[in-house]
């Protein structure tokens, strides 16, 4: 079946074809860009955090009496948590990883605080911190119990040693081995790098330097005290109420919440997840609508061309020739829409990248979208085309 006569017939009935082509063009532009956004979001949500998320829960407490014995309480709590069967390790921590809340400061590779410094999202943890977070040290060692600063009110004092992620290490010392090097605070106080973490995400999942994490050997203090507890696989949900019931007994403080780390992660990524879900729904609806448009046009064409189809059958067209005719016709319409759609998709992609700081549309997605829409068009035409092929050739001899 050749294209030219189909094309010339098409050009005499432009309206319907143009309407479908416009739909295809808009659909391609929206679908390709939406899928691109969805994939980015899914990739973002699925990034490895370096933390044993699945087996960690947080206990957030707040004390409220004057002279609350926080030092003794922290010691007792940590002893209890670390001794609890099923617990791998527990630590106090100044902020909840992946939660959207945390602290950062700048680190320098030379004293004097000159230049930009490397921003680091720091977590204050005890000697059990590495085990509690379930992160992997690629070189060096963890903190010894002796170096952990006891609970202390507000202070500008820096720490003697720190553990940094490979990201931070590379930014501070691009050319040399960072382990054992000295870094400086804004006030030029020195600290030595004693360990390198392979990879770990900090508090702010939307930050482009989310992997810039530093651990300080400090016991979190004093009003609001949070514990990060890592359990053996499967023990987390069982231990949460047990821990809450125990800690709640201490007078002079309340347990604000006991929540899994997954809760905070989900909340941090909720906008990304909702965007992905919403766009997916839009895509499904859009493809459904576009298919409906294609189906509608093909059905209308079959109805209004019954006589013509009968005549073609009478003068020798086989059923499959008729099916092919409509499929080729749809392919032509879809393709013309796709040509416009590619331009539109690139324009929308450009607009998104300019105004919303999204990465420029990846062309693979466009290619995928083109093949996808070709398929959708053919599938939506198949049913009316098969109906057309069942028009009896005897229709040709009917006078009305």
Nearer to another protein, 154 or 364 (CB): 154
Stretch in the footprint of another protein (CB under 8 A) among 139-147, 159-167, 286-294, 362-370: 286-294
What is the spatial distance between Cα 176 and Cα 184, in angstroms, rounded to a whole number? Answer: 17
DSSP 124: E
Report, in Å, the least distance between residue 163 CB and another protein.
Answer: 23
**C-alpha 65: how far from its chain's center?**
42
Query: Is residue 314 close enough to count as binding another protein by CB under 8 A?
Result: yes
Terminal C-alpha separation, the chain: 29
- The interaxial angle of helices 270-304 and 319-355, nearest 10 deg, is 150
Cβ neighbours for 360, distance < 8 A, ≥ 6 positions apart? 349, 350, 353
CB of 106 to another protein, least distance (A): 9
Near another protein by CB under 8 A: residue from 46, 65, 174, 249: 65
Which position among 245, 285, 375, 383 is part of the footprint of another protein (CB under 8 A)?
A: 285
Taking the complex as a whole, the smallest distance from the CB of residue 192 to another protein amounts, in Å, to: 20
**Count of positions (residues) in the chain:** 400
What angle (nearest 5°) sits at the alpha carbon of residue 52, between those of residues 48 and 55?
135
Q: Which residues contact 228 (CB under 8 A, 6 or more apart)?
A: 56, 58, 90, 91, 92, 93, 96, 97, 125, 132, 133, 261
Residues contacting another protein: total by CB under 8 A:
89
Q: Which of residues 126-165 bind another protein (CB under 8 A)?
A: 153-157
State the nearest-atom distance from the C-beta of 110 to another protein, in Å. Answer: 14
Q: Does 8 bind another protein (CB under 8 A)?
A: yes
Least distance from another protein to the Cβ atom of residue 190, Å: 14
Quote the least distance from Cβ 59 to another protein, whole Å: 13
| Rounded CA separation 111/183 (Å) | 8
Site for another protein in 211-250 (CB under 8 A): 223-224
Per-residue x/- mask for another protein, residues 292 to 311, rule CB under 8 A?
Answer: xx--xx-xx--xx--xx-xx
126 and 205 Cβ atoms separated by less than 8 Å: no
Window 176-195: residues binding another protein (CB under 8 A) = 185-188
Shorter beta-carbon distance to another protein: residue 191 or 197? 191
Q: Which of residues 325-364 bind another protein (CB under 8 A)?
A: 348, 351-352, 355-357
Torsions phi, psi for 258 (to 5 deg) = -125, 110
Taking CB under 8 A as the rule, does residue 43 contact another protein?
no
Check residue 314 and report its DSSP letter: H
Site residues (CB under 8 A) for another protein, limited to 14-33: 15-16, 19-20, 22-23, 26-27, 29-30, 33
Nearest to 68 by CA among 226, 225, 219: 225
80 binds another protein (CB under 8 A): no
d(CA 30, CA 387): 31
């Amino acid at each position: 079946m050749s294209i030219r006569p189909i094309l010339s017939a098409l050009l005499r009935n432009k309206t319907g074809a143009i309407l479908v082509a416009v739909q295809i063009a808009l659909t391609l532009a929206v679908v390709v860009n939406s899928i691109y956004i969805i994939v980015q979001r899914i990739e973002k949500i699925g990034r490895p955090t370096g933390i044993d998320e699945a087996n960690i829960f947080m206990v957030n407490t707040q004390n409220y009496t004057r002279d609350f014995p926080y030092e003794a309480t922290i010691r007792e709590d940590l002893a209890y948590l670390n001794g609890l069967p099923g617990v791998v390790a527990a630590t106090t921590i100044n902020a909840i990883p992946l939660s959207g809340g945390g602290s950062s400061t700048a680190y320098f590779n030379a004293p004097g605080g000159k230049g930009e410094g490397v921003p680091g999202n720091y977590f204050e943890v005890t000697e059990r911190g590495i085990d509690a977070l379930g992160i992997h040290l690629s070189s060096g060692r963890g903190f010894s119990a002796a170096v952990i600063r006891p609970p202390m009110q507000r202070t500008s004092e820096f720490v003697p040693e720190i553990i940094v992620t490979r990201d931070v290490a590379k930014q501070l010392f691009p050319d040399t081995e960072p382990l054992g090097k000295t870094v400086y605070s804004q006030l030029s106080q020195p600290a030595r790098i004693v360990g390198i973490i392979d990879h770990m995400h900090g508090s702010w999942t939307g930050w482009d330097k989310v992997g810039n994490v530093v651990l300080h050997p400090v016991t979190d203090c004093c009003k609001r005290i949070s514990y990060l507890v890592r359990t053996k696989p499967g023990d987390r949900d069982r231990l949460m109420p047990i821990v809450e019931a125990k800690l709640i007994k201490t007078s002079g403080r309340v347990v604000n919440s006991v929540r899994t780390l997954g809760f905070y992660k989900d909340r941090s990524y909720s906008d990304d997840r909702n965007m992905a879900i919403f766009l997916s729904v839009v895509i499904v609806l859009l493809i459904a609508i576009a298919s409906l448009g294609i189906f509608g046009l093909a059905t209308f064409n079959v109805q209004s061309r019954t006589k013509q189809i009968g005549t073609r059958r009478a003068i020798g067209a086989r059923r499959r020739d008729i099916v092919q005719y409509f499929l080729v016709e749809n392919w032509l319409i879809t393709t013309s829409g796709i040509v416009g759609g590619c331009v539109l998709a690139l324009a929308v992609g450009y607009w998104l990248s300019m105004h919303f700081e999204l990465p420029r549309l990846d062309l693979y997605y466009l290619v995928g979208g083109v093949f996808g829409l070709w398929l959708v068009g053919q599938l939506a035409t198949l049913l009316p085309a098969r109906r057309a092929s069942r028009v009896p050739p005897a229709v040709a001899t009917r006078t009305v």
